Amino acid sequence: MIPGRVRAGWGPLLGNVAVFLLLAAGSQLLAPGPVSWDPTTWSWSWSEGILVLVNLLFLGLAFVVPLHGGVLNLGVYAEFLAGLTVASVIGSVASIDPPVRALLAVLGGAMAGALVGSLMVWMKRTFAVHEVLSGLLFGGALLPLAREMPAPALGVGPQSVLAWGIILLILGVFLSLVFAHFLRASAPGLDLRVVGRNPLAAVAAGVNVDAVQLWTLASGGACAGIVGALGLTTQASTVLYWPLPLAFAGITIAVFGLGSVRGLFLSSIFFAVWLHEPGTAVVLSDPGLSTLIAALLVIPVLWTLPRLHPDQGAPRAVWRTRHRETY
């Protein structure tokens, strides 16, 4: 049993497929002016497509990894902003070679995101501040700082961006596969599943719940931080076009993927393709239609998220701040 994964038959899967088809077909149909239905005629930038896919995959991981430990990471946006800020600072140091600068920016962004995630767990453990609240607060606090950051020119060409995108995509896929195998087959993975499903039983079984939640949220934060660092590349249309706040991109990907790592990967691909439909960009630029699409993206939450929650008496494990109570 994997807590973050939906196990409720075919209903949620079919529902998600129906919503996605409606979204994809609706974007084409509602777009004003003639749009082509032939994918071979669509203008397609490989580097941008791969970067969008990487962004979506890492944002999904940022939400799904903590969710398996019973932590609701609504601080994805804060972690993204932290990653973006630190990457901007590193990117503006002109004395470092561009390739090294890009590498450092990605690493720095990941570390900054992980730090924000760790701070959220620390606040939860020390001051009983729920991670949802601290995540939103950090997001609000970091936004002005991120806005003030100048957009540095990394000095890397399109080929380098594509190379970086491919490297990060391989890394994302590798991490997803490793995480799925880790959950299923390792003793710490079992501990993580126990924490996600029933923290009281985890405490009783001798699992250090705080430590597990710390590393899951730090890992999720690192994934969001990488997306933040990628935000320096202007090609990343996820940031530009996504109709909801960026944190919700991760939630949407996780929800459409039914919380499983395989589903996460598939939904990332589907949404990356959808974002490159010629009708999508037109539709998303229209406020009314954009709102409609945002509503469609939210709908699957209704039947998926309640089933994603660890139970042990409804969503207690997620909503309760502390796990130190008796039965």
Partner 1 sequence: MSGKGMVGGALRVKGLSVADGPRWVARDFDLEVKPGAVHMILGERDSGKTALLRTLAGLAREERGSISLGDAVDAGPRVRRRAARFITHERGLTHLSLLSRLLLARPPRRLGMLIHGRRGLEHALALAKRVGLEGLLEAPVEALRPLERRLLDLAAALDDSPRALFLDEPTSELGPHEARHLLHVMKAVAREDRIPIVFTSTWARDAYPDADQITILWRGQDPVTVDAAQVTESALIERWTGGSPRRSPTGPHAPGDSLLRVEDIVLEGRGRETSLAGAAFEVRSGEVLVIVGAPADGLSLLHEVLLGQRAPSRGSIQFLGKEMAATDRRQRVDAGISFVNPPHARDQSLSHFTVEENLILGQTRRGPFSRRGWLKFESIRGNAVRSLADFEIPEARPRDRFDLLGLGFRQRIVIAREVLRNPVLLVARSPVQGLGLEAQEYVRKALVLQCERGSGLLWLTEDPEEALRVADRLAVLAAGRLVWLPVTETLTREAIIDEMSGHAA
Nearer to partner 1, 82 or 183 (CB): 183
Output the smallest distance, CB 302 to partner 1, in A: 21
**Number of neighbouring beta carbons within 10 Å of residue 197:** 21
Output the smallest distance, CB 209 to partner 1, in A: 11
Question: With binding defined as CB under 8 A, does residue 206 bind partner 1?
Answer: yes
Please tell me the distance from the alpha carbon of residue 27 to that of residue 171, in angstroms, as a whole number.
31
- Taking residues 44 to 63 in sequence order and writing x for each that binds partner 1 by CB under 8 A, - otherwise, the string is --------------------
Question: With binding defined as CB under 8 A, does residue 9 bind partner 1?
Answer: no
Of the candidates 129, 143, 163, 203, which one interacts with partner 1 according to CB under 8 A?
A: 203
Residues 178-187: contacts with CB under 8 Å, at least 24 apart: 179/61, 179/65, 179/261, 180/260, 180/261, 180/262, 183/2, 183/68, 183/261, 184/2
Output the smallest distance, CB 198 to partner 1, in A: 5
Residue with tokens 């998926």: 304
Tokens at 239, concatenated: 């940031």
Please tell me the distance from the alpha carbon of residue 247 to that of residue 223, in angstroms, as a whole number.
12
Q: Where do runs of H (alpha helix) occur along 34-97? A: 46-68, 76-91
Please tell me the distance from the alpha carbon of residue 121 to that of residue 208, in angstroms, as a whole number.
13
Question: With binding defined as CB under 8 A, does residue 200 bind partner 1?
Answer: yes
Nearer to partner 1, 282 or 320 (CB): 320
Output the smallest distance, CB 6 to partner 1, in A: 12
Output the smallest distance, CB 127 to partner 1, in A: 20
Q: Identify which of 124, 182, 185, 80 has the alpha carbon closest to the alpha carbon of residue 318.
A: 124
- Taking residues 287 to 316 in sequence order and writing x for each that binds partner 1 by CB under 8 A, - otherwise, the string is ------------------------xxx---
CB contact at 8 A, 121 and 65:
no
Output the smallest distance, CB 188 to partner 1, in A: 6
Length of the chain: 327
CB contact at 8 A, 84 and 229:
yes
What b/e readout covers 213-232, taking b as 16+ CB neighbours within 10 angstroms?
bbbbbbbbbbbbbbbbbbbb
Question: With binding defined as CB under 8 A, does residue 128 bind partner 1?
Answer: no
Q: Where do runs of H (alpha helix) occur along 231-300? A: 237-241, 246-256, 261-275, 278-284, 287-298
Question: With binding defined as CB under 8 A, does residue 252 bind partner 1?
Answer: no
Nearer to partner 1, 50 or 200 (CB): 200
Output the smallest distance, CB 211 to partner 1, in A: 12
Of the candidates 207, 217, 223, 261, which one interacts with partner 1 according to CB under 8 A?
A: 207
Question: With binding defined as CB under 8 A, does residue 204 bind partner 1?
Answer: yes
Nearer to partner 1, 210 or 286 (CB): 210
Output the smallest distance, CB 264 to partner 1, in A: 21
Q: Identify which of 216, 297, 311, 268 has the alpha carbon closest to the alpha carbon of residue 7.
A: 311
Nearer to partner 1, 27 or 213 (CB): 213
**Secondary structure class of 8 (helix, strand, coil):** strand
Output the smallest distance, CB 317 to partner 1, in A: 11
- Taking residues 169 to 198 in sequence order and writing x for each that binds partner 1 by CB under 8 A, - otherwise, the string is ----------------xxxx-xx-xx--xx
Chain positions contacting partner 1, by CB under 8 A: 1, 3, 185-188, 190-191, 193-194, 197-198, 200-201, 203-207, 311-313, 324, 326-327
